[in-house]
Amino acid sequence: MNIQLIPKLLVSDADAAITFYTQALEAQVNLRVADDRGVVNHAELALDSVAFALAQSVEEWGWNDPRSVGGSPVLIMLTVQNPDATADRMVQHGAELVIPVEDRPYGKRQGRVRDPFGHLWVIGGELRDQRPR
């Protein structure tokens, strides 16, 4: 048996989130399941070989999105080839830049973005300045 861990992001508007992630992160939708009222209770998306899921928040099920509980207690760490371009694209599609993408003293190029649904993403990649010190 293979172990698999797929985070499921709860959002206030699942269809808007699918649109955001496909445009801003170039994610591919692998599955979208809605109930008879059209509420998306499960969608699976892929970023290259990485998968994540999302669903509409449903208060009576205890499924609360970050904005409904005052923020996200989780940082989603995404390593990409060009973190600057990824963060910029997220912001162009409605995310908020929380911490600019910069070379960090701990050896990574990272920044933080809050998506339109309240989830916090640490966007990182290789250092821009690779010269020996």
Domains annotated on the chain, with CATH:
8-59+67-125 (3.10.180.10)
Query: Which pLDDT score, from 0 to 100, does residue 16 have?
Result: 97
Using a cut of 0.85, tell me whether the model's pTM lies above it.
Answer: yes
Evaluate if residue 93 carries a pLDDT over 60. Answer: yes
The set of residues, in sequence order, having a beta carbon less than 8 Å from that of 59 and lying 6+ positions away, is 68
> What is the residue type of 91?
V
CB 96 within 8 A of CB 114: yes
Evaluate if residue 131 carries a pLDDT over 60. Answer: no
pLDDT digits (tens, 9 = 90+) for 58-85: 999 999 999 999 999 999 999 999 999 9
**Cross-strand pairs, 110:** 102, 124
Query: Which pLDDT score, from 0 to 100, does residue 1 have?
Result: 78
d(CA 28, CA 65): 22
pLDDT digits (tens, 9 = 90+) for 12-27: 999 999 999 999 999 9
Q: Calculate the average pLDDT of the chain.
A: 94
Query: Which pLDDT score, from 0 to 100, does residue 41 have?
Result: 94
Q: Which of 9, 21, 13, 15 shows the shortest CA–CA distance to 93?
A: 21
